[in-house]
Amino acid sequence: MMLWAGVVLAGGVGAVLRFLVDRAVARRLARGFPFGTLVVNLTGSVVLGLLSGLALSPQWGLLVGTALVGSYTTFSTWMLETQRLAEEHQRLPAGANIVVGVVLGLAAALLGQALGGRL
């Protein structure tokens, strides 16, 4: 029961952090490109890679990886923003959002994993 209470709490914290980071980045870089979501997903990828490199127990992996980082990062918002860009005929930014998100996300996860493996 304590694990599930931790999942609920960590999930809430992750969602609030996502909102705060996204808004802070969007305020500073108010443009048509969804930089806030990109920053959230890249920082989440680093953290998830770091956790993977640390080889946490299944309970801690669920709590921190799935609940906290899973609620912090956002695939659905990333795709919705990509669709919005495409609907607005901003095909280059829409394609860039996908490519940059995947390439930098993978690089961020690998960086985090390498860092976690050294700790």
Alpha-carbon distance of 70 to 62, in angstroms, equals 9
| Annotated binding-site residue? 95 | no
Q: Phi and psi of 114, rounded to 5°?
A: -65, -40
Contact 108, 46 (CB under 8 A): yes
Alpha-carbon distance of 117 to 53, in angstroms, equals 4
Alpha-carbon distance of 27 to 6, in angstroms, equals 31
Alpha-carbon distance of 103 to 65, in angstroms, equals 21
| Annotated binding-site residue? 82 | no
DSSP state of 32: S
Q: Which residues are annotated as a binding site?
A: 70, 73
- Give the residue numbers of the binding site for Na(+): 70, 73
